[in-house]
Amino acid sequence: MADLELAVINCNAYRLSADLCTTYFALHIDHFENAIYGMNLNIIRSSMTESTKSKDESMRSHLGKPGPVYDGIEPGELGEVTESVQDRMRQLESRNSYLEEQCSQIESEKRYLENQKIKYEREIRKLQSELDRMKTSPLIIGTVIDVIKNDRIIVRSSNGPQFLVNVSQYIDEKKLLPGAKVALNQHTLAIAEVIPSTEEPFVAAMEVLESVEVDYDQIGGLDEQIQELQEAVELPLIEPERFARIGIEPPKGVLLYGLPGTGKTLLAKAVAHRTNATFIRVVGSELVQKYIGDGSKLVREIFEMARKKSPSIIFIDELDSIAARRLNETTGADREVQRTLMQLLAEMDGFDKRKNIRIVAATNRPDVLDPAILRPGRFDRLVHVPMPGVEARGKILKIHCEKMTLAGDIDFQRLAKATEGMSGADLKAIATEAGMFAVRKDKELIEMEDFLEAVDKVSMAADTQKMMPAVSLPETMFV
């Protein structure tokens, strides 16, 4: 670097032209090559431009001047030196372009890394916020009992006791109505937020969204029962003007009773298929809950959902499990079932009107039902579903065999006579067993002998069930 500075001082001292300075640098290039890399290329390009313009006598006049710096330079060597310097300049420019590309690439990578840093910082803040939210203390669920002035509310917590608590100023006072669900702070029991009312998931699951593809033409031998069910359930929902014209109220409920397997539940499925009303299916045992008051609350929510989605039909299967006759001597579990039954009686025909809600129930033990649920106003129609006769059994067999591959010698009349005392469920089992016999023998068609074997097999199973000894149960409300 010192040699380079000395050369520049000599050039200035002797006031040499740019061409002579460039020649001097070329002759001494090995001594200060590293210094040339650090020089500004723009200054060198400017010097080269000036040397091109001053290639006349000014350069030649200086060649003959004595001096300590340029001793030994021949005039013929000037062109070769200039070309060498230009080649060196091109190499330096190429090197500079490469470094500029590298610098641009590094700056691009730097911007990408900065963007990634910002992205990960946002992700960290998000995760930190979620972590803080998960660490917050849980809130207690309570119910508003009464609203007092000065932002004071009486609430009942989920544990049972009542408290007089404060309310957050950010809560809308119009939502704080008696009966509303609220979230309470765990330490101060102050109301933190109002919980929107939603349907109980257990109750919402009782709604039948996709009806079973069962129609009245798939039920054999129950024409009279189908007519009574249509008049009491379907007609009030489809053509209520008929009852208004006559001046009577349609039946509020229908009770289907009969032996097991006679088609009571099948009739309810056909009703769900034929009507556009909301169909809510309830099994009586589902209303029996473990804790006191839960069964009554469940009945209340079922009827509340039916009112919101009216017109609606509530089908209670196995009614005897919840509506058995009440006795004087009961246990704690029996008393809870009685509370649920009383809530059911109140909802069916109590102080509040049921509006456009129809109730259909089924049982195979009408003898154990409580008289209060059988009176008119709750179940206005009691429809007996009997065991099928000979003609009905033939129809039922034809319905079950409609999609089966049968031989041409099937005598349904003979089969109907051979199945005396069998229910519709037994007849369906006979059709299935006949198909199984044909599968076992690897046949193409189901023949008459397969049906006869199936009749013998199902009859034997039915006789075995009838011969089972009766078990004597203690005298409780469920007997």
Q: Which of 325, 357, 384 is the last residue of a domain?
A: 384
CA distance 168 to 151: 9
- Residues 243, 336 share a domain: yes
Strand spans (E) along 167-248: 181-184, 191-195, 207-208
Q: What pLDDT does 203 receive?
A: 63
pTM over 0.75: no
Radius of gyration of the chain (CA): 50
Tokens read off for 365: 């033990």
The H or E element that residue 312 is part of is strand 312-317
Q: Has residue 76 been placed in a domain?
A: yes
DSSP 135: T
CA distance 479 to 462: 24
Distances (CA, A) of 132 to 126, 137, 191: 10, 10, 21
Single-letter amino acid code for the residue at 388: P
Q: What pLDDT does 62 receive?
A: 45
Tally of CA atoms within 13 A in the half-sphere of 207 that contains its CB: 21
Q: Which of 195, 213, 229 is the last residue of a domain?
A: 195
Q: What pLDDT does 19 receive?
A: 47
The whole-angstrom distance between residue 297's C-alpha and the CA centroid of its chain comes to: 26
Distances (CA, A) of 24 to 68, 71, 77: 12, 10, 12
Q: What pLDDT does 280 receive?
A: 84
Q: What pLDDT does 123 receive?
A: 93
- Residues 252, 331 share a domain: yes
- Closest to 381 in 3D by CA, of 413, 357, 358, 408: 358
Q: Are residues 357 and 303 in contact, defined by beta-carbon separation less than 8 angstroms? A: yes
Tokens read off for 169: 């100023």
Q: What domain range is 179 assigned to?
A: 140-195
Tens digits of residue pLDDT in 249-288: 888 888 999 888 888 888 888 887 777 778 888 888 887 7
CA distance 309 to 277: 8
Q: What pLDDT does 424 receive?
A: 84
- Residues 335, 276 share a domain: yes
- Residues 27, 145 share a domain: no
State the total domains in the chain: 4
CA distance 99 to 448: 97
- Residues 180, 69 share a domain: no
Q: Is 257 exposed, middle or buried (0-12, 13-18, 19+ CB in 10 A)?
A: buried
Q: Has residue 134 been placed in a domain?
A: no
- Closest to 26 in 3D by CA, of 40, 12, 47: 47
Q: Are residues 232 and 350 in contact, defined by beta-carbon separation less than 8 angstroms? A: no
Q: Is 258 exposed, middle or buried (0-12, 13-18, 19+ CB in 10 A)?
A: buried
Peptide bond just before 311 cis, omega within 30 deg = yes
CA distance 398 to 392: 10
- Non-local (6+) Cβ contacts of 294 within 8 A are none
Q: Has residue 478 been placed in a domain?
A: no
Q: What is the CATH number of the domain that holds 371?
A: 3.40.50.300
In the block, tokens 């298929």 appear at 273
**Residues of 41-51 as b/e, b for ≥16 C-beta within 10 angstroms?**
eeebeebbeeb
- Residues 88, 29 share a domain: yes
Q: Which of 101, 125, 152 is the last residue of a domain?
A: 101
| Beta-strand relationship, 253-257 and 278-283 | unpaired
| Beta-strand relationship, 357-363 and 253-257 | parallel
Residues with pLDDT less than 70, the chain? 1-79, 150, 198-212, 329-333, 350-354, 461-479
Q: Has residue 132 been placed in a domain?
A: no
Q: What pLDDT does 444 receive?
A: 87
